[in-house]
Amino acid sequence: MAALWIHAIEQGLAHGIAALGVFLTYRILDFPDLTVDGSFVTGAAIASVLLVHAGFDPFSVLLLAFLAGAIAGTLTGLLNTQLGITNLLAGVLMMIMLYSINLRIMGRPNLSMLRVETATRVVHTLWSPLGAFAVLAFIGLLTFAIKFLLDGFLRTELGFALRATGDSESMITAQGVSTKRMKILGLALSNGLVALSGALVAQYSGFADVGMGIGTIVTGLAAVIIGGALIRSQRVGWMTLSVLLGSLIYRIAVILALRYGYVVGFEASDLKMITSLLVILALVVPYVRERRRKKVSAC
């Protein structure tokens, strides 16, 4: 049972990096970006190919995956800001293009990394005194390092401009800031984080698959919404912490549903349905709570 909880926390933290990327576009930029379903796989594809066929260092491929995802996000931003394609359609188009690009990168629908040294295997060997907690410690340190770096960036002048772009484009434009550049920057950072998460998850799982990114936007939104319902704060540090907390809760709920869902008739093939139900629940609870609050105040 302890191994199940450790696995759930590891998964929650690894996917939490992608949730931070979704947080950037959904909460900061107010940009519904579906590119993430493709860029998550791009990170996994880059990592698997470089490890299997080129013998790269398993930690350096995380940075290269981030750069690949940032390029994908930049292209989405250019489609929207330079070609006038709506934000939703720009993300959909890039997601579709990335499906073919990811197949090109891997050369096949899936690629195994069971015979190469992945970051998690290296950490498990080097940090062997920690035993079963070695990989958890590594993923936790990496995730929170990224969280604090993101917090620091969002508190800079450039970060404030990025946040203001999502809050009020007209106001920040009046201050002489290019909202187009801010959107491209935000999308690049977002998809870079998502791709890094994809590379980490692929190394953790031992394989990369062209379909592993399906639902990334949904799981990311679930983490943002669940965390936001539990920690209501406009302070950057608390907001990013709420995203990671939401990712942990979501991943634990999914794993428990898959493990014990047979009691109510769930099967492993029902994962996507379970995911959607959790997101619906996360959306409905705050809505119901707000309606009750308004009724009480009206009385």
Average pLDDT over residues 236-255: 91
pLDDT at 125 over 70: yes
pLDDT at 76 over 90: yes
- Specify the pLDDT at position 69: 97
pTM above 0.85, yes or no: yes
- Specify the pLDDT at position 66: 98
Q: Which residue has the higher pLDDT, 94 or 171?
A: 94
- Specify the pLDDT at position 242: 94
Provide the phi-psi class of 176: left if phi over 0, else alpha when psi is between -120 and 50, else beta: left
Average pLDDT over residues 268-286: 74
CA 87 to chain centre: 18
pLDDT at 232 over 90: no
> Could you give the domains of the chain?
2-298 (1.10.3470)
Q: Fill in the amino acid letter for 292.
A: R
Residue 115, class by beta-carbon neighbours within 10 Å (0-12 exposed, 13-18 middle, 19+ buried)?
Answer: exposed
Return the HEC string of the chain: CHHHHHHHHHHHHHHHHHHHHHHHHHHHCCCCCCCHHHHHHHHHHHHHHHHHHCCCCCCHHHHHHHHHHHHHHHHHHHHHHCCCCCHHHHHHHHHHHHHHHHHHHHCCCEEECCCCCCHHHHHHHHCHHHHHHHHHHHHHHHHHHHHHHHHHHHCCHHHHHHHHHHHCHHHHHHCCCCHHHHHHHHHHHHHHHHHHHHHHHHHHHCEEECCCCCCHHHHHHHHHHHHHHHCCCCCHHHHHHHHHHHHHHHHHHHHHHHHHHHHHCCCHHHHHHHHHHHHHHHHHHHHHHHHHHHHHHHC
Our CA angle for 210, 215, 220, nearest 5°, is 125
- Specify the pLDDT at position 111: 94
Our CA angle for 95, 66, 104, nearest 5°, is 50
Tell me the pLDDT of the chain averaged across its residues: 90
Our CA angle for 249, 250, 252, nearest 5°, is 65
Reported as a single tens digit per residue, the pLDDT across 173-224 is 878 888 899 999 999 999 999 999 999 999 999 999 999 998 899 889 889 9
- Specify the pLDDT at position 268: 67
- Nearest-angstrom CA–CA distance, 152 and 158: 11
- Specify the pLDDT at position 299: 64
CB 172 within 8 A of CB 182: yes
pLDDT at 279 over 80: no
Give the number of other CB atoms < 10 A from CB of residue 258. 15
pLDDT at 293 over 70: yes
Reported as a single tens digit per residue, the pLDDT across 6-27 is 988 999 999 999 999 999 999 9
- Nearest-angstrom CA–CA distance, 232 and 283: 15
